[in-house]
Structure 1
């Protein structure tokens, strides 16, 4: 039989008012409890089943995340999963709002005095607004995440780690209004240990000449002696490979991204590494991404001009410790060439990448996710499939705990106009080997045994001074470019 509606007129006014407030707060703390106590027990039991089911799912995902973090992130990051979560949040908001309305009905507000009825009505409205608003906002964030994953990450083919490492080509493309097409003016390979996340950054100068291509590729057939032809000048450099491939799409039938493909092939031949994926970052939009995360903090050893080249210098980013840079200033710090060399610029870009890796916390991502996602859709292009998002998020979290080492193929070790590619490949292999030895507790390359990785300066020296001729002191001036560096922290100091 249906439950009879209790007559509250025999209760004193304070008791009726207290009961009304209690029913609303019970609905906030445990949805359905008001119905169990004073309303439809059937509706209350259904609400409890839903709550219990949601708690069980959350607990399961937490436990699964502790056991298998990357797999859990991969599952949660799938567009289909995110769409389901979005729908569930909206349904939960509607259901919870209905329970609040029903709890208000059960409280029989018409039996209350005018002021108490007004307070009860306002409280019920506020609770509905807060709870429903929070759930709807959560669904908007989930939808943003789904749109971000679908827009940036594709359904590309998954690439397995090569010799226990993921090698990702990071390209900074400068496609401003004053330029024809895109040229990746910044090229860095992030070689990531698939087990520990320990990362080696391998910097390649944009003006590297005569770059080879892997045997059997279309570019190798076109340029059997490396990327050069008669009187090509600046058009034969590494950063021009991208543009050449885009302008000769017939060499890459069926390939939607010939520029990225050709550049990856060239970098593979130069470094001797098998590249798994690429990430192309539009430097013009990089400013918005940095603003979205609140900027970065760096130690700056030398002031850096803002502007220069074809435009006048508008100011300087001054040297000093703990300099906080917004997107505008961080972008100029990374891209400025005035009063410096390409090699110093490469070092500054590594400082920015390292700072973002270390300073971008999960809390920042959660609180500023919509801005990050909106900026990233305009900034980032990659062939990393959505199914690998969890794998790289997991590795990034591990990498935050470890120092980043690097090698740069720059003068005086490497002559960019006539590079010794065999030497580059040797040095790349040495840098990776020394990085891996830090996790194995072996020799760091200096004859000493390392049982635990250093938190400040890993012993991963990847370049040596020339053994013949006059010994040159590494410097970051335009006339004597810097050599490769031991670790990124050592070049990001005031």
Structure 2
């Protein structure tokens, strides 16, 4: 380091103290500026080059996200990118700490009075801890993101949108040894417009009988007349497809979890829609994920039992508006069956999914990311490839801006014991058509779909409770169902 040209001892002590404080604050605001002003200009210029490079990268990513948001997200969540970012943050923390130490030295603490020297030393230590701590905290978040992506998302096969829509199968079931015998109690197909993100939730009753399978599939060969056999009882319902396939793996060579494949094929046969991806959620562990995000707030139309159906009722979730539920109570709100029909429970599950979609803000994800990622690894299993995270996240962000529609093939429209599958498929197509019509009405003069809902006033639907006794069988805003 070059020597100072003037002797600082000729300055008044208060001036030397202010100078020392200024050098530290300069390092906080613009690392390297203290060195440019009073130390090694070469070191300061290198610090500025690093800062300039970081700013250029950030600006580039911001501009890229404006024209290609999904690609930007894919780039940012790539495990390789996250590893590089993690290493750079650690190196940046070390370099910034070194600049603070050098700025403290340039302040000539030995020329200061005892109290001023102590103040300068404490300030320097606090700034080092704050800056380095923040960067190391950021690196742990990046590490958690990388671990989460690597653990949950793999190198699955990319699936193209079918007729302009991504259809994602959402399954909820209790965990078990190797998941053998698991019956997905919650089966919902989310059909998402690949352009606007507008979503239709198709809730499928778990007690749907005689489910057909697409021609050419192994399940269609085993059950050419639909999923039934002699004296099978409840095992022949839709939620029994998973269990049957897991118990007959010999028919699915090379498939790790045939239960998921068979259930996916059953849903395709039911709805007439191609299933692009699935997401399996362990309902028992779902409460940990909800706790990680701080719970959800929903309207409860009537008291919901905690427990029951094979176990004693331990209490109730009381009715009321804006009820904040932690993970445990939100889980029971979604899964409770005592004193309720399957169709009522399906509606409550839609309410929970919609509440999470609307209430999980980017700020909350950032501040609680480590706990969210840790919980998600334990409860989420999916075949969405890591390379499609950008596309799915992009659509999720768009869907937050729009109402979510729903359709459920339930009585009285559909008899689940003897379903009219042609009617179900036509109603599914009708539900999607109504949803797409909303996008068409909101399109601009160039015919490009907009993410902004139509400003044309429409008659608002009635707002039944979040736990209606009658199922919803037509398209509507799911949020309107979840009102007390």
Which TM-score tier does this pair reach, normalised by the shorter chain?
over 0.9
Deviation at 1:217, TM superposition (A): 1.0
Q: Which moved more, 1:131-140 or 1:397-406?
A: 397-406
Deviation at 1:378, TM superposition (A): 0.6
Distance 1:242 1:456, change over 3 A: farther
Deviation at 1:5, TM superposition (A): 3.8
Specify the alignment match of 1:489 in structure 2. 479
Structure 1, residues 329-368: CA drift from partner, whole Å, max 9, x if none?
A: 1111100000111111101101111111111111111111
Specify the alignment match of 2:277 in structure 1. 277
Deviation at 1:153, TM superposition (A): 1.1
Alignment of 1:255 with 2:255, yes or no, is: yes
Q: Secondary structure at the match of 2:188?
A: strand
Specify the alignment match of 2:408 in structure 1. 408
Distance 1:284 1:329, change over 3 A: same
Specify the alignment match of 1:46 in structure 2. 46
Partner Cα distance (2:295, 2:66) in 1: 31
Specify the alignment match of 1:71 in structure 2. 71
Matches within 5 A, 1:389-468: 389-441=389-441, 452=455, 457=460
- Check conservation: 1:413, 1:483, Cα contact below 8 A: no
Deviation at 1:486, TM superposition (A): 3.3
Structure 1, residues 28-51: CA drift from partner, whole Å, max 9, x if none?
A: 111111111111111111001001
Q: Secondary structure at the match of 2:10?
A: coil
- Check conservation: 1:175, 1:181, Cα contact below 8 A: no
Partner Cα distance (1:213, 1:395) in 2: 29
Deviation at 1:485, TM superposition (A): 4.0
Distance 1:455 1:253, change over 3 A: farther
Partner Cα distance (1:351, 1:456) in 2: 22
Partner Cα distance (2:78, 2:25) in 1: 36
Structure 1, residues 144-163: CA drift from partner, whole Å, max 9, x if none?
A: 01111111111111111100
Deviation at 1:456, TM superposition (A): 8.7
Specify the alignment match of 2:217 in structure 1. 217
Partner Cα distance (2:11, 2:70) in 1: 58
Specify the alignment match of 2:445 in structure 1. none
Partner Cα distance (1:385, 1:108) in 2: 56
Could you state the TM-score of these two structures normalised by the residue count of structure 1? 0.91
- Check conservation: 2:301, 2:468, Cα contact below 8 A: no
Distance 1:309 1:88, change over 3 A: same
Alignment of 1:3 with 2:2, yes or no, is: yes
Aligned positions, number:
467
Could you state the TM-score of these two structures normalised by the residue count of structure 2? 0.93
- Check conservation: 2:431, 2:474, Cα contact below 8 A: no
Specify the alignment match of 2:187 in structure 1. 187
Deviation at 1:490, TM superposition (A): 3.0
Unaligned 5+ runs, structure 2: 443-452
Unaligned 5+ runs, structure 1: 443-449, 460-474
Matches within 5 A, 1:15-94: 15-94=15-94
- Check conservation: 2:461, 2:480, Cα contact below 8 A: no
Partner Cα distance (2:82, 2:367) in 1: 18
Distance 1:323 1:485, change over 3 A: farther
Q: Secondary structure at the match of 1:184?
A: coil
Partner Cα distance (2:59, 2:457) in 1: 36
Deviation at 1:245, TM superposition (A): 1.2
Task: Give the superposed CA RMSD.
Answer: 1.9
Alignment of 1:113 with 2:98, yes or no, is: no
Distance 1:408 1:454, change over 3 A: farther
Q: Which moved more, 1:7-16 or 1:228-237?
A: 7-16
Stretches of 4+ aligned residues off by more than 3 angstroms: 450-459
- Check conservation: 1:403, 1:458, Cα contact below 8 A: no
